[in-house]
Structures are given as structure tokens and as C-alpha cells.
Chains A and B, each alone.
Chain A
């Protein structure tokens, strides 16, 4: 069963991350890399990606003539997807356990960030897409 683990945050949250001590940021990233390495070893890893920030995001709608209409203005308070992990696991509980590990990645002073991770299963489809 494939799941996507979604890490979201606000601009204020990202700004706060940049105020962490360099060593705290390094420890945080090392923990996330460690989780990725473990998932690769268990064969549960599919993909992970960080996304660029809201300033580079656009919202697109199709015009009647099929041409894209883009809008780059987002409300300050909007939650943004910061990044995701796609995992292939045997049970729903295992997906939640991995999300728990990500949530426990250390923040300033080594204290877990406790960031909420949204856990969503892929739609299972039969036949070719």
C-alpha cells in the first residue's frame, strides 16, 4: 500500500526555521536523512521531495481558450506543502509510525519539532492509467 506523508507549514514557520542555530538545522536534516536511509534499507522508500517556497508558487486555472491564467498571490496564513515522502508499506499503522518519526525530528536545542504530518493513501486503481 502506498502512502504520501505530507509536511505542511506557514511562511512564519519557515522564517522561524531560518533563525535556528546552524547546528540545530544540521541535526534536523541529518535525522530526516537518517529516516530516508532506513526506509531505503527496509525497501519502503519510494520518493521524497522538498518543494520551493510560496513566493515561487502559482495557482493556475484554464481559460475558456485553454490558455493558463496564473495567480501568484497567496494569503499570508495559508498552509503550504513543504515537502513529502512516498512510502510503500504493509499496513496503515506502519505509515503512521514513519510519520511519527518524521514529526519527532529535532528542532532548536534538540527538542522534537512535533510538526503534524498528514498521512494519505494513494487511490488504488485497477488496469492501466
Chain B
């Protein structure tokens, strides 16, 4: 069963958080170590961080097929900061991995306790959608 674990941020600005360098390094080292563990256990399908919201665009199809882009987002919008796709035997394993991500260290090494959204991935659209 494949799951997508989504890490969202409310931060509408750009750039890395204004934490002491050592705290940022500890956070990144934690994420690398977690990804290595998941790769070693064969559970990791893909993990990516996304660029900051100031580089995001919202695209709609224009009438002539030319994309109409908009770079302005409401301050309160939640942004996807990064995601993991894992292949596990049951939902509990996906939740356990999400909890590890949630506990990634922040300033002073304290766990961030981030909310991680866990969603099963469809193998194909359900037949009733076709």
C-alpha cells in the first residue's frame, strides 16, 4: 500500500526559517537520516522538498490554451513544503513514519510536532470515475 505523507507550512514568505545554523543543520541531518532508514527498509518510494512559496505559480488554462499564471497567494494559505511516498504493509506503519517526520527537531533541538497529512495513493482512478 502506497501512502503520501505531506508536510505543510503556513509560512507564506520565502527562504529557510530564521533558526540558528546548528539547529537547521540538526533538522536537515535528521531528515537525511530518516530517508536513509526508509531507503534501507525498502519503504521509501520518493521524498522531495519543494521550493519556497514565492516561486510557486497558480496556473489556469486561458481561452486560447495559453497558460494564465498567478503568483499571488493569500497569506493564510497552507503550502506543501515537502512530501514522502512510502510503500508499507498497513496504515499504522505509514502513521509511524509520519510521526517520526513530525518529531523532526526545530530550534534548540525541540521536536517541531508538525502535522503531517497521510493519504493513501490510488493505484488507478476508481471505475465509477471512468
**Chain A positions near chain B (C-beta within 8 angstroms):** 2, 4-6, 17-18, 25-26, 29, 47, 49-52, 56-64, 66-71, 81, 92, 96-97, 99-101, 103-104, 112, 114-123, 125, 129
Contacts and interface: CB of A to CB of B under 8 A. Distances in A.
Contacts of A58: 91, 95, 98, 117-118
A51 B111 contact: no
Contacts of A2: 48
B49 interface: yes
Contacts of B122: 49-52
B4 A49 contact: yes
B99 A68 contact: yes
Contact of B116 (A59, A104, A112): A59
Top-7 shortest CB links A-B: A100-B67, A104-B61, A68-B99, A62-B103, A60-B98, A99-B59, A62-B99
Interface of B: 4-6, 32, 35, 46-51, 55-62, 65-69, 80, 82, 85, 91-92, 95-96, 98-103, 111, 113-122, 124-125, 128-130
B118 A81 contact: no
A120 B56 contact: yes
Contacts of A56: 119-120
A97 B100 CA distance: 37
Nearest to B95: A68
Given A100-B62, A114-B60, A119-B56, A62 B80 contact: no
Contacts of B59: 5, 96, 99-100, 103, 116-119
B33 to A, nearest CB: 11
Nearest to B122: A50
A2 to B, nearest CB: 8
Given A61-B99, A96-B69, A116-B58, A52 B121 contact: yes
Nearest to A83: B122
A114 B61 CA distance: 6
A119 B60 CA distance: 11
Nearest to B69: A96
A40 B58 CA distance: 23
